[in-house]
Amino acid sequence: MGVVVSDIGPADGFALQMPLLTPVGDSHDGPDVGFGDGAPAGDRVGQEQDLFLREPAHFVPLLADLTWRAVCSLMLSVPSMWRVLGGFGMEKMGSISEAKCRLLAKIRELLSTAKRLIPAEVDSVGAGIRVLSALRGELYEDLNQIQHAALILDAAEWLDREVLKGKPAEWYWNPYQTGGSDEPDLQCRSKAGVIVAEATASPAPKGLLDSRMASTLEKMNRMAGERYYFVRTAAMRQRAETKIAKAGWNIQVIELQ
């Protein structure tokens, strides 16, 4: 399952530098490796080759470093490589039932916080506003994230039942945050292939949310695998279907109430 990470290349600040042989100094017991004496390039190459044949052990760290840099450059510049290797950018869900138990524990914790913040009585407007402000500060972000996570789990259950038919699969997700530019909310890997899904728990496609839906669907269209977009309301489903049809994308929209 998948790693999927943002496209990162030299233009984004990652550059593969191939170091030349430089003086090692006195940090080792063997002879220094260095060719800064102003010798012609051809002579230096010959000296390097001769030293490599006589003292290959001194070049092992350099070769290991060059190999690691080359691998990192390749993986960061080719996003699909992360999908092949799988799993690095997303949280492993485990079983769906276990994930639901963890989410229920978080919901109970949130409700306990709400009970602690709400006094038995509110005797003034000012006191009431202070309570509401405290509730918003403590709960607002978690409320949005929990609704998002709950829809992702409902989506996983639907996919397990309707698409996988109960066949074994590995699940990865971004439960409490939006995935990166190359990450879905949910990814499933099975012998049948890869499934990717996005989930939007908002009830109506208004204002900024409508433009976010468009960018989410566009992001999905670039992903490998079978694609699904899960929503809670008919209004969201209809809007998503309109955008998908107009753009000619291959994404299925599923409404889960």
Please classify residue 164 by burial: count the beta carbons closer than 10 Å to its beta carbon, then call 0-12 exposed, 13-18 middle and 19+ buried: middle
Q: Say how far apart CA 253 and CA 197 lie, in whole Å.
A: 10
Domain count, the chain: 2
pLDDT at position 129 is 96
Three-state DSSP class for residue 90: coil
Q: Say how far apart CA 117 and CA 139 lie, in whole Å.
A: 10
160 with 220, same domain?
A: yes
pLDDT at position 180 is 60
Q: What is the pLDDT of residues 185-215, one digit of tens each?
A: 999 999 989 999 999 999 999 889 999 999 9
148 with 224, same domain?
A: yes
pLDDT at position 17 is 40
Residue 96 lies in domain: 91-255
Q: What is the pLDDT of residues 141-196, one digit of tens each?
A: 898 899 999 999 999 999 999 999 989 999 999 987 655 667 899 999 999 899 99
- Please say whether the beta carbons of 156 and 186 come within 8 A: yes
pLDDT at position 165 is 92
pTM here is: 0.65
Tell which residue, 166, 159, 113, has the closest CA to residue 137: 113
149 with 239, same domain?
A: yes
Q: Which residue has the tokens 């600040």?
A: 13
User: Considering the domain boundaries, does residue 238 fall inside one?
Assistant: yes
Q: What are the b/e assignments for 74-102, b being 16+ CB within 10 Å?
A: ebbbebeebbeebbebbeebeebeebbee
The list of the chain residues with pLDDT below 70 reads 1-88, 177-181
141 with 56, same domain?
A: no
Alpha-carbon torsion (36, 40, 43, 49), positive or negative: positive
Region of 62 please: left (phi>0), alpha (psi -120 to 50) or beta: alpha
52 with 109, same domain?
A: no
Decide which of 60, 80, 100 is a domain's last residue. 80
* 33, HSE (Cβ side, Cα atoms, 13 Å): 24
Please classify residue 205 by burial: count the beta carbons closer than 10 Å to its beta carbon, then call 0-12 exposed, 13-18 middle and 19+ buried: buried
pLDDT at position 68 is 54
